[in-house]
Chain A
């Protein structure tokens, strides 16, 4: 029992770090633009499929396709912002909520159309197997993915704090009009943050593809969980999303362990409802 529990905690941490990376992309977009990107999970799916096809067609291991996934998703995010999202920013709020649903349905069904709804796996990734650490089994691909997620999150954090562009993004997040008055091109910041948000799930997608099933609807669940994480961490807060991602990963696996695994996602959604009820600003929001 204690060993199983320890194993569950480790599993929770490993999936939690992935959640963090996905949620950081979402919170960046949400914080800067006040747009809820319901297509976020589908961006993840595109990342996973990109990695899958690069492996299947060209034999490129997912680890090496990370830069390609990142670049591709970055461009895709920028284009979606430029041609769709930017056009509804001035419109009614309902349209802002619905538009990314449209994008989500479009992308996931494009994937169904092109590649059928089948579940796929990368047959022989470079990383596989487990490390045995006494009582705990550590899956190698999951551990590497978690490490990659931590490094990427740290890089995003440093980018936002240390570079001029990053500071411009943070300034826009705090006060759009003031930022505009300070000479920040907020439209460029929007497009950059949307691109970055998408690129981050591109990285997450490449890592996930080493051990997770790849199918067109895979994004739905990750996307919805990411909303709960963003709310828990606090609106637009990068470090909040990072911590909340780990917490949600732990709660999900432990909830499945102590109660019924079938309800583990319901528990995650309950966290969202309880958070917005008790502490609407989230853990680290202001």
Chain B
């Protein structure tokens, strides 16, 4: 399988320059907000892609890692006044450990069985947080107001710092994904994706590498979770642990092109503005029409563009499988 690294790189440079310049040109906070969500979902989709796109483990429970990240840093900040940046590391490690704990028993599951196990995992985590008094149960957690500044990971006067922080997170995720995809590990991941059994016979420690994929993916998703908590300053199970968020992450990766570094970014660039704008324009009345369009979109993408739009950019040389 040939991955055209150069075209991805040149595309990346142009896109990055545009991303850095965007908020300086566009002052509208609504558009800045959409861009922030775009970067956040792109970060999670890139994290998903490491697991799903490269190692072939289709996770529909990514929201659990996102939620664990958000809850860990917020809880530490509220109860022990731990700096959010340390909380971010703690959340990432926590999510990675939970991911490994759940990933180990699931390490022989394939295809549908794995996918449903991840849904079950996400729902168990949501149920637990929804009833866990110590972390606010269904009421969630409100973060205390701290002084503005990078050290406190909190800004009140402008969205700009959040914008650049999440952009950096996305770049970190992309760098990790790029390193993984070009390293020995990346080749092992692809071997596992092509055939679990063949990879095992050829001497790949399948269980170990699958766990690695889960842990890396969990850590990156949890980073996005902490970001979300610091950005919105309020989290509850319904905002950071819902199954539809997991599905959105999968869809973004699939639409962009699972198994390529830039694919999920493109997927997020298409899907997040559409879903945010339809939500704001049509969803405010709670009529469900925005989700109706969204469901229709998912169905159409699966039927007509299941290998992602990245394939269109990268030419005929690349195929997801």
B-contacting residues of A (Cβ < 8 Å)?
A: 30, 34, 36, 84, 87-88, 91-99, 101-113, 117, 216, 220, 224, 227-228, 231, 260, 262-263, 265-266, 269-270, 272-273, 276-277, 280
Identify the 8 closest CB pairs spanning chains A and B, nearest first.
A102-B298, A112-B288, A106-B295, A105-B295, A95-B306, A102-B299, A99-B302, A109-B288
A-B residue pairs in contact (CB < 8 Å), sample of 9: A92-B306, A92-B321, A94-B52, A98-B302, A110-B288, A262-B131, A273-B121, A276-B106, A277-B105
B295:A224 contact, CB within 8 angstroms: no
Interface residues of B, count at CB 8 A: 50
B112 near A97: Cβ-Cβ < 8 Å: yes
B245 within 8 A of A: no
Chain B residue with the shortest CB-CB distance to A113: B288
**Is residue B77 contacting chain A, with contact meaning CB distance below 8 A?**
no
Which residue of chain A has the shortest Cβ distance to B52 in the bound complex? A94
B130 at the interface (CB under 8 A from A): yes
Query: Chain B interface mostly helix, strand, loop or mixed?
Result: helix
- Report B94-152 residues with CB < 8 Å from chain A CB: 102, 105-106, 108-109, 111-113, 115-117, 119-121, 123-124, 127-128, 130-131
Docked CA distance A84–B299 (Å): 8
Q: Is the CB of B116 within 8 A of A265?
A: no
B195 to chain A, nearest CB (A): 13
Interface centre among A95, A96, A277, A280 (most CB of B within 10 A): A95
Instruction: Tell whether, in the assembled complex, residue A117 and residue B288 are in contact, meaning their CB atoms are under 8 Å apart.
Output: yes
Hey, which chain A residues are within 8 Å of B10, CB to CB?
Answer: none
The residue from A102, A113, A273 contacting B105, defined by CB atoms under 8 A apart: A273
B299 — which chain A residues lie within 8 A by C-beta?
84, 99, 102-103, 106
Query: Which residue in A108, A216, A262, A277 is a CB contact (below 8 Å) of B106?
Result: A277
**A106, A108, A265, most chain B CB atoms within 10 A:** A106
Q: Which of B111, B119, B131, B244 contacts A263 (CB 8 A)?
A: B131
Task: Please give the residue numbers on chain B whose beta carbons come within 8 Å of chain A beta carbons, in ascending order.
Answer: 52, 58, 60, 102, 105-106, 108-109, 111-113, 115-117, 119-121, 123-124, 127-128, 130-131, 243-244, 247, 250-251, 254, 258, 286-289, 291-292, 294-303, 306-307, 320-321
Knowing A109-B292, A273-B121 touch, does A102 contact B297 (C-beta < 8 A)? yes
Contact B113 A93 (CB under 8 A): no
Taken together as a complex, chains A and B put the C-alpha atoms of A222 and B310 apart, in Å, by 36
Determine how close the nearest CB of chain B comes to the CB of A241; give it in whole angstroms.
Answer: 14
Closest partner residue, chain B, to A278 (CB atom)? B105
Given A98-B251, A276-B113, CB of A103 within 8 Å of CB of B295: yes
Known pairs A88-B302, A103-B299, A106-B292; A280 contacts B113 (CB<8 A):
yes
Point out the residues of chain A lying under 8 angstroms from B307, CB to CB. Answer: 91-92
Task: Evaluate contact between A104 and B120: CB separation under 8 angstroms.
Answer: no
Residues in chain B near residue A87, CB distance under 8 A? 303
**Are A99 and B303 touching (Cβ within 8 A)?**
yes
- Known: A88-B303, A94-B258. Contact between A34 and B289, CB under 8 A? no
Name the residue among B115, B251, B300 with the largest chain A CB count within 10 angstroms.
B115
Q: With CB as the reference atom, state the residue of chain A lying closest to B125.
A: A266
- Name the B residues within 8 Å of A228 (CB-CB): 120
